[in-house]
Amino acid sequence: MRDMAAIGATITFLPRGLRAANLNGKINLATVGIGGMGADDRAELVKHPAINIVALCDVNRNVLNQVGSEFPNAQKFEDFRQMFDKMGDKIDAVHIATPDHMHAPIAMMAIMAGKHVYCQKPLTHEVDEARKLTLAARQKGVVTQMGIQIHSTSFYRNAVAIIQSGAIGKVKEVHSWSNKTWGYEGDLPTNTTQPPAHLNWDAWVGVAPMRPYAPGHYAEGGNWRKWYDFGAGTMGDMGIHILDPVAAALELTSPRTIISHSPPPFKHSFGIRNRVSYTFPATKYTVDDVKVTWYDGGYMPDTEGWPLPEGRRIPDQGSMFFGEKGALLLPHIAAPLLLPVADFRGYNKYERQPNGNHWHLWVDAIRGEAKATANFDYAGPLTETLLLGVLSCRFPGQELKWDAKAMKFTNFSDANALLKRPYRNGWKIPGLG
């Protein structure tokens, strides 16, 4: 994902804000979305001695009060806008782990206030948001990191190093997949009720169009991933992880074309099985323009002819790289395997990579002691590419030709309408929506 610098030259940047001071001491952290993955992130972040949690924000009052009891000195909020209004001068950095549709508005407000940002994946819900966050973060000079924590493990780092060492030669094609089924085959739920007293439903819906609360369908159990308005399906959940080492190893830029071979879409929700093919321009690690195919749910790649060891099946999630001289299987999450096995026994012509703590790399980068390797200059273009694939599933069978510089499809105007959306009245965020 190397073409953002040239693209950025054509964009008018937002005004420069102030950076937080005294970052060699404690870093005052506000965390937004503190249950689920937010709790996992927080458990890692607070292990760093520089982190001091000063604000907690969540739309679920039960979760807010429970976590608040663990951090009695932190102020509690249900609305991130009120948090910034009241505590903006006391916050150095912001962690975000809400449903996808609220990532960009919270991150943009933090960036414009000069705060460093750690945001869960995928970085944004809309393609347009990914571009704007990337450019704003670069202009403000804040330290950013997207929560693709496997990016910093030795598994993914070694896979990138092996591919770039030339072990399998230049890459011809890649297949990536997940067996998860974040989709909903039907219409909007009819079991609507008043939201529970502990849930701030208006704040949960946030920038998305308002709809009635339906127990078990949106706010609970990650089910928001299934709906166009709030999530990005299985591809958004797992593709951002699994396509990460593909993009990194091959140094992919923006795709030329995307086409979905998925079943006809539903009106409001993602399907539970999808197949999307990208064509990317050639890089120094590919034979020519390279095809990357994504599969999820009920679709898996046809492995006939693949050089798998006898009796071995592909993992439930992972990627297979095919090169001129062999192949590499990268399970999610496990060590890469060069294939055929007999051809690569003892292969060591690459620099082995250590494990890194993805969360602490961000904190150390704020302190000037490390580099956040999934910063928004990397994460923004990766998210754009991912979301283009997600969007293509709304138009199965239609090849979409992408002009990254102009940020539009050149051959199918219906798809351009889905690159961004207006934010709901009362939830407008400067620079977005």
Instruction: Name the E strands within 254-412.
Output: 257-260, 273-280, 286-297, 317-323, 327-331, 337-339, 400-403, 408-409
- Of 356, 359, 358, the C-alpha closest to 29 is 359
- Residues forming beta bridges with residue 92, ordered by sequence position: none
Q: How confident is the model at residue 24 (pLDDT cuts 50, 70, 90)?
A: low
Question: What is this structure's pTM?
Answer: 0.94
71 contact partners, CB below 8 Å, separation of at least 6: 53, 56
In whole numbers, what is the pLDDT of the chain averaged over residues?
94
Q: How confident is the model at residue 433 (pLDDT cuts 50, 70, 90)?
A: confident
146 contact partners, CB below 8 Å, separation of at least 6: 118, 119, 120, 121, 122, 123, 374, 375, 376, 378, 379, 382, 383
Domains of the chain (ranges; CATH) run 4-151+358-374 (3.40.50.720)
The pLDDT, as a whole number, for residue 298 is 87
The pLDDT, as a whole number, for residue 3 is 53
Q: What is the pLDDT of residues 102-122, one digit of tens each?
A: 999 999 999 999 999 999 999
Which tokens in the block code for residue 426?
């009362």
| Beta-carbon count within 10 A of 274 CB | 29
Interatomic CA distance for residues 179 and 103, integer angstroms: 25
Interatomic CA distance for residues 172 and 287, integer angstroms: 6
Q: What is the pLDDT of residues 195-211, one digit of tens each?
A: 999 999 999 999 999 99
Q: How confident is the model at residue 2 (pLDDT cuts 50, 70, 90)?
A: low
Q: How confident is the model at residue 8 (pLDDT cuts 50, 70, 90)?
A: very low
